[in-house]
Structure 1
Amino acid sequence: MRALFWAVVLALAAVAAALAARLNDGNVVVLLPPYRIDLSLNSFLLAALLLLGAVYWIARTIQKIADFPARVKLYRERRAEVGGQRALREALRSLFEGRFARAERAAKAAQDAPALAGLAALIGARAAHRMQERERRDEWLARAEADPQLNTARLVAAAEMWTEGRENARALEAIESLQSAGGRHIHAARIALAANLQAGRWDEVLKGVRLLAKRHALHEVVAARYKVLAWRALLAQRRHDPSALEAAWNRVPAEDRRIPELALEGARLLNRAGRGRAAGAALEAALEKSWDPRLLDEYAKTYDFPARERIERAEAWLHEHPGDPALLRCLGLLCLREQLWGKARNYLEESLSAKTHPATLLALARLAETVGDEQEAARRYREAALGYAELQAESEAGEDAGAPRAALREFTV
């Protein structure tokens, strides 16, 4: 339809030009002594039009010849860019498929496109890292430095790979460079947390956990686990100095001191350092927040404040948790220390009837030995030994079952 329209327009234009030429009787005289050229106006206009067309065509031809090298260069660049994009897509697909050697080869092919060379270098670095080729990985990272627009991506990727390779100093240096440039984001903070954990920089671990928890970037369970790990290490460093140990424990935030695992570890260290009152207070605070029977055995070992106060506190707990075997065993141990033989026996036997535990059997054996019942003591000692042996076997079986999962976690870190 469009072609027909333009055909009609051209036909009408031709008819109009023919009519106009018939009505035009003018002449054009060109004097070139000794020559004189007479032309009709229509012939002159036609000749001028043809001359202009010829000049335009010659000029366009000269321009195209002059632009030919630039056009060839542009064509080659476009061809290299298209090939680089194809190679980059292949590298990404191979990387996600786990075909790291193929991904690295495709990344090398993508180096022909300058605009994609930096990004391809990061892909090549990741592929080499997965193949444990650390030298080639670092070579790829060095290539990526040529593209300043990828500086943040290069630092984050390098820090993550160095952390996975246990090169914590280099990883932390990259994170510091990133942060000094004003680049603060969640993923970099996670990488820094992992590097600090592996490097044993516990103060920095606590800072990282607080930062990520504040931004809701760390699960509560994981945050609590990291806090326990960090505070446990910081407390263990001061275990030989009771004053420093207690001061370190007091620096732990009140909310963190109520985490059962941390309260148990802190109480153990404080008990060993002779700070039983602080240990008892730590356990009581944790038990008030969440009832955890694991804390009660350690509570029975606390010293430096009267056992009768602890007995009264434990008996108050018994009203809230009647029949709890761990609480009954704790009460029996406290009464045993205060030489309340009858109450100790009642509590321990009640605990044993609720749940058989080798610690309860051992406490009954010590009670029987104290009151002079050697036969009962020997029987209880034997039962306790068998019970601990069964617990050890169950623990080893659990460790054997968890070994594949631990190996898998180590592989995926």
Structure 2
Amino acid sequence: MRALLWLLTLFVLATLLALLAGNNQAVLTLYWSPTRAIDISLNMAILILFGLFLLGHALMRGVSGLIQLPRDARRWRIQQKERALHGHLLDAMSHYLAGRFSRARQAGQRALRQEEGLYGQQADPRDNVPAAQRLPYRMQLRALTHFIMAESSQAMQDGTQRDLHYTQALQAAEESSADIAVETREGIQLRATRWAIEDRQPAVALERLDALPQGTGRRVLALRHRLKAARQLGNTDLALETARTLARHKAFTPDAGRVLVSRLIVDQFKSAFDLDQLQRIWMRLDREERVWPEVALAAARQLVAVGGTAAQARAWLLPVWERVAAGEQSLSSSQRSALIAAIEPGLEGIDSDWLQRIETAYQRYPNRPDVQYLMGMACMKRQLWGKAQQFLTQAVQGLKDEPELHRNAWRALAELAEERNDGAAAQEAWKQAALVR
């Protein structure tokens, strides 16, 4: 359609030109001294002038092209060298991703030589590139090239070359005028932190993290590095604080975040060697963290180990017991066994409130062997031999999957048999306790 419109336009122009020029009878006379005169039609004169204009324009274009030819040749050479620079950098990245670290360093070295030959002091004088025409991101390219070489050196366990290229990469990033230069520098610093963690140098990693700007230090990647470094250093307080921050930022799944935080809390409990220290750690926990079974159980065990009272241990275990008494299925069998084992040692001095709680749980779930076991042990501590015998006999049938409680139940039955002077039953109970694996 467009071609048809152009053709119609040309026909119209040709028609108008024929109408104007066909009826033009004007004559142009050129007088030539002294007596000569040349008569030509006005149409011919116009055509001659137009032809001279075209010829002059062509001559000027030709001369301009000849003058511009060296400059175009230089621009072409520079463009080819810049393409080669990009090609070497891409080769270095490809080799690094493929795990060919020695080749990545060689390609990076070629890229650096190409950049130095183009913009450096050893550049060809014929290719003297004005500052305004240089690549605006050439220093960023140089920084990334040094970074790839540093990463390859780290993979090859060449610490000397790694540190050299790391320093040069930071210098190039500092000199870069690109808008992304700050991100480039901070990214290189974060990767250097990971190198320190891989080399088991957590103090160096934390020092580099502290040197980062405040906003960069709060990024998820930086927090992950801080967590790993703190765990390597054994700084449980810092690791726990960082893990909580990561969990709030949803860096983990909810289950994974809870497992990590609970493990760190348990490690804190294990590091407490006196009652005051343990209580301070407990008071610093969030309310939600105190009701986690693994946390409460670890706290209760450590409390008893450092000389705390059984009543205080039961107070810490109360939220977990309420979940068990309510029939919540989120607790594993090992956690329920650990809870029963933590409550059992203080049964002789247990108060009426806890007895009421145990009885209420038994009335609600009379067929649960762990509750039967706890009822039997409570009755045994209060010298209610008959009830203790009844509850424990029921419990041993269902505790086969919980070896510790199963063994303790048989031992209690053996002691009850000895109490009533039934040697055969006592011997059989001790035998069954010894067979529990």
> TM-score range, shorter-chain basis?
0.7 to 0.9
1:306 to 340, 345, 350: 350
The residue aligned with 1:174 is 208
Change (3 A) 1:25 1:109: same
2:66 to 30, 53, 61: 61
2:392 to 348, 353, 371: 348
> Could you tell me how far 1:256 is from its partner in structure 2?
0.8
Change (3 A) 1:152 1:349: same
Separation in 1 of the partners of 2:398 and 2:145? 66
Separation in 2 of the partners of 1:121 and 1:109? 11
Separation in 2 of the partners of 1:90 and 1:224? 39
Q: Please give the per-residue CA displacement for 1:4-44, whole angstroms capped at 9, x wherever unaligned.
A: 97xx89x979x98x9899956243879xxxxxxx9997878
Separation in 2 of the partners of 1:347 and 1:376? 16
The residue aligned with 2:129 is none
Where 2:211 maps in the other structure, the secondary structure is: helix
> Could you tell me how far 1:204 is from its partner in structure 2?
2.1
**Larger CA deviation: 228-237 vs 256-265:** 228-237
Separation in 2 of the partners of 1:28 and 1:334? 141
Contact 1:197–1:205, Cα closer than 8 Å, also in 2: yes
> Could you tell me how far 1:378 is from its partner in structure 2?
4.3
Q: What's the TM-score, normalizing by structure 1?
A: 0.74
The residue aligned with 2:135 is none
2:265 to 231, 253, 272: 231
Separation in 2 of the partners of 1:171 and 1:351? 54
**Larger CA deviation: 365-374 vs 217-226:** 365-374
Q: Please give the per-residue CA displacement for 1:337-357, whole angstroms capped at 9, x wherever unaligned.
A: 333322222221111022332
Residue identity in the other structure for 1:365: A
Separation in 1 of the partners of 2:407 and 2:32? 131
Where 1:302 maps in the other structure, the secondary structure is: helix
RMSD: 4.1
The residue aligned with 1:258 is 291
> Could you tell me how far 1:296 is from its partner in structure 2?
1.1
For structure 1, which runs of at least 5 residues remain unmatched after alignment?
Answer: 31-37, 391-413
Contact 1:274–1:303, Cα closer than 8 Å, also in 2: no
Separation in 1 of the partners of 2:291 and 2:173? 50
Contact 1:152–1:183, Cα closer than 8 Å, also in 2: no
Matched, 1:210 2:244: yes
Contact 2:89–2:108, Cα closer than 8 Å, also in 1: no
Separation in 1 of the partners of 2:383 and 2:85? 90
> Could you tell me how far 1:299 is from its partner in structure 2?
0.8
The residue aligned with 1:33 is none
Separation in 1 of the partners of 2:81 and 2:213? 40
Q: Percent identity among equivalent residues?
A: 25
The residue aligned with 1:27 is 30
2:364 to 305, 320, 323: 320
Matched, 1:338 2:382: yes
1:118 to 143, 150, 156: 143
> Could you tell me how far 1:254 is from its partner in structure 2?
1.9
Contact 1:365–1:376, Cα closer than 8 Å, also in 2: yes
Matched, 1:384 2:389: no
Separation in 2 of the partners of 1:322 and 1:135? 70
Change (3 A) 1:361 1:305: closer
Where 1:354 maps in the other structure, the secondary structure is: coil
Separation in 2 of the partners of 1:209 and 1:355? 37
The residue aligned with 1:411 is none
Matched, 1:84 2:117: no
Change (3 A) 1:171 1:23: farther
**Larger CA deviation: 367-376 vs 220-229:** 367-376
**Larger CA deviation: 70-79 vs 277-286:** 70-79
